[in-house]
Chains A and B, each alone.
Chain A
Amino acid sequence: MARRVSVQTKVGFTVLAWAVALLLFSPILWTLLTAFKTEAEAIASQPTFFPQNFTLENFSAVQDRSDYFKHAINSIIVSVGSTLLGLIIAIPAAWSMAFAPSKRTKDILMWMLSTKMMPAVGVLIPIYLIFRDLRLLDTVHGLTLIMTLINLPIIVWMLYTYFKEIPVDILEAARMDGAELWNEITHVLVPMAVPGIASTLLLNVILAWNEAFWTITLTSGRAGTLTAFISSFSSPQGLFLAKLSAASLLAIAPILLLGWFSQKQLVRGLTFGAVK
């Protein structure tokens, strides 16, 4: 940045920015600290900042009480599974829209976007009944299917915006050189498309991981993901603040780390390429 400012100004802005940022981060920080306190310390009338009796027992208690690992595995299967399934369906579609656009391509893209706007409650009841009749309620594969469908428009859109940036001339050149379609895809397109596909994968895993409408309404015990796991803590049972904090930390830690690496993709993916 070329702007020259006095040191005082810089110090002032830095202090202000850190104060605001820490304030916003404080719920997460507080959860992190509380997770390692004893239950008694967590609700003491004189609150402590750092855990006085550092303990890991909350984590084992959470595992015993609600089986964290089962829910975590469900979350992983649903988020990764639905994203991979979505990519399989979306990559050919985005490829053809980016490289062989027709007059209707724009309409199709807009229409796909419109399906994302449909409020989930508008279709909750039929989906619930269909799932009940097909015995898909509380199953991991049923949930994966729904998650694929709700994120498919975003996957197509993100891939489309990335694919559009691949210079068509290179494809033409490959074609001139007599490359078969298959070779064109594997040797020219894929290497250039991989970063875009990876970004799409990352963002959609995050979105699916945090999805909390369908996971709560369509699952109970067996296929519950981490969002459902946490929701089971909504009614307090005795001393539970430290355990809740431990459970929360376990549920958000993996995605928080992934999220930090994907800030740029987040902007692009969630604005459907309108802000880059």
Chain B
Amino acid sequence: MATKQTRALARTMMAPAVIVLFIWMIVPLVMTLWFSFQNYSLINPMMTGFAGWANYVYVIGDPSFTQALVNTLILVGGVLVITIVGGTFLALLLDQPIWGQGILRILVISPFFVMPPVAALIWKNGFMHPGYGMLGHLWKFFGLQPVDWFNQYPLFSVIVIVAWQWLPFATLILLTALQSLSEEQREAAEMDGANAANRFRYIILPHMARAITIVILIQTIFLLGIFAEIRVTTGGGPGYASTNIAFLVFRTGILSNDIGAGSAGGVVAVIIANIVAIFLMRAVGKNLDA
């Protein structure tokens, strides 16, 4: 009964969402692209006109860009490894017959609901501060010199905080996937004499593969844009030691008022995210057919 009328109605109902999102996507993106080829600085209004590839050469050629790119990869990769391995372990653990499963789930999931600046600041001051942080006390208890985490290991410290925030997400998704594995299948494997390691390798892991892929892709999208955690802890420093691409763009464009160069960095960030996005879309798209 899909008459012309209903089809026109469907289109009308879809229109606002599509139009709004289209404008939201196209207008700023085109502007970023345009600015990236302009001489445009908020500090020096005399600097105008077409810049060619100068902004890109300036941004990409600067050592800070290489470092930010490497930092981005280490940050995303480090957090992914910790959350996937830790999340698989936790999901398997929470799936065991244990007392207090409901409360345990709540405790484990909680860090995900802590807003990024709070997560960063309670880690920075309550845990990683060399003077009065928990870790400092712990180090002193064992007779060690407390570590000044954010000065000595800035990127590692940021990784720890971000991994703490995303571990619950990975755990929750993987646990959900794990619990959809049929009990018969597991019991059959057990009857056939498969030991725990083999059951994990040949039954559980293949079953969770899809969920793991989705966790990796979704986290990557969010992790590429890590910002607040860096902003409130290290400010990207010392030097550029904990600056990722997202923070570099903010630093160049907003803090240093160099719109042209900041935009060029933004375009690079969009390109990197797109590469990841293509893979994610495929994974999600497949599910849509099923």
Q: Identify the A interface with B (CB < 8 A).
A: 1-3, 5, 10, 13-14, 16-18, 20-22, 24-28, 30-31, 34, 42-45, 47, 89-90, 92-93, 95-97, 100, 102, 106, 108-110, 112-130, 149, 152-153, 156, 175, 181, 206, 209-210, 212-213, 216-217, 226-227, 230-231, 233-234, 236, 240-241, 244-245, 248, 251-252, 255-256, 258-260, 263, 266-267, 270-276
Contacts and interface: CB of A to CB of B under 8 A. Distances in A.
Interface string B1-21: 110001101110110111011
B239 interface: no
A118 B273 contact: yes
Contact of A42 (B7, B132, B210): B132
A21 B21 contact: no
A30 B164 CA distance: 15
Contacts of B224: 119
A236 to B, nearest CB: 7
A253 to B, nearest CB: 10
B169 A121 contact: no
B284 interface: yes
Contact of A121 (B9, B97, B104, B266): B266
Interface stretch (B28-36, B43-51, B74-82): B28-36
Contacts of B7: 100, 102
Nearest to B260: A125
24 contacts: A1-B183, A2-B187, A10-B96, A13-B97, A17-B94, A24-B107, A24-B164, A27-B126, A28-B122, A30-B134, A43-B131, A92-B16, A92-B17, A115-B24, A121-B246, A124-B253, A125-B32, A149-B21, A216-B228, A234-B233, A248-B122, A260-B113, A274-B287, A275-B177
Q: Main SS of chain B's interface residues?
A: helix
Nearest to B34: A126
B21 A24 contact: no
Interface-central residue, A240, A251, A274, by most chain B CB under 10 Å? A274
Nearest to B174: A275
A130, A259, A267, A271: which has the most chain B beta carbons within 10 Å?
A271
Given A16-B93, A47-B132, A124-B266, 9 more contacts: A25-B110, A30-B126, A100-B6, A117-B277, A117-B280, A121-B265, A125-B254, A130-B31, A273-B287
Given A17-B96, A126-B31, A270-B169, A96 B254 contact: no
B266 A152 contact: no
A21 B104 contact: yes
A212 B116 contact: yes
A126 B28 contact: yes
A69 to B, nearest CB: 17
Nearest to A128: B254
Given A13-B97, A13-B98, A17-B104, A255 B277 contact: no
Given A96-B10, A121-B266, A244-B122, A22 B107 contact: yes
B59 interface: no
Nearest first, the 3 closest Cβ-Cβ pairs linking A and B are A123-B28, A126-B31, A92-B13
B288 A109 contact: yes
B181 to A, nearest CB: 12
Contacts, number: 311
A49 to B, nearest CB: 11
Interface string B255-290: 000010011011101101110110011011101100
A241 B125 contact: yes
B21 A97 contact: no
Nearest to B105: A263
Of residues A102, A118, A244, which shows the largest number of chain B Cβ atoms within 10 Å of its Cβ?
Answer: A118
Contact of A230 (B14, B118, B164, B273): B118
A216 B106 CA distance: 29
A152 B284 contact: no
- Which of A42, A122, A248 has the largest count of B CB atoms less than 10 A from its CB? A122
Contacts of A252: 113-115, 118
Interface string B230-254: 0111000000000001100110011
Contact of B134 (A47, A119, A120, A267): A47
Q: Choose among B1, B17, B96 the residue with the greatest number of A CB atoms under 10 Å from its CB.
A: B17
Contact of A272 (B29, B210, B284): B284
Given A20-B93, A212-B117, A118 B25 contact: yes
B218 interface: yes
